[in-house]
Amino acid sequence: MKSAAKTVDEYIDSLPSDRQGAIKTVLKLVRENMPEGYEETMNWGMICWQVPLSVYPDTYNKQPFMYAALASQKNNMALYIMCPYMVPGDDEKFRAEYKATGKKLDMGKSCIRFKKLDDLPLDVIAKYIALIPMADFVAHAKSIHPKN
């Protein structure tokens, strides 16, 4: 479900009450572990942490380069984290660390779907949110898309 909310607070206020607590907890976790420089905003209908266009304007789609996002979808909530997806080998490490917690991982390319907060191993999530400083993330993006 894409939201038309203009602010993070407006987005949270628009959520069903049974999801607000989980989203607020994950939001706090992400904020506490987000490397410096990423901007928090509403983009693509969800709470998004991205590389400002002033830092990296030449993205392949001319949109800010997303590092992480948090959303309430129709059937679940979702945390999008790009670092395990982008860095070779990190996807396997992330999946193994997640599995080692005993929690079931429901993940697409970069989307971790969860129905309740207890579905997430918060310590593993925090580690991967904090993983890549913005300058390293941009350098990696430029290596993948050298024309940009």
Question: pLDDT at position 143, please?
Answer: 80
Q: Are 60 and 76 in contact (CB under 8 A)?
A: no
> In terms of residue numbers, what domain contains 18?
8-142
Q: In the prediction, which pLDDT does 25 show?
A: 97
For the chain, the average pLDDT equals: 91
| pTM of structure | 0.91
Mean pLDDT of 1-26: 91
Q: Does the pLDDT value for residue 117 go beyond 60? A: yes
The enclosing domain of 32 has a CATH number of 3.90.1150.200
Count of structural domains, the chain: 1
Whole-number Å distance between alpha carbons of 142 and 58: 9
User: Do 81 and 110 meet the contact criterion of CB atoms below 8 Å apart?
Assistant: yes
In a domain, 1, yes or no: no
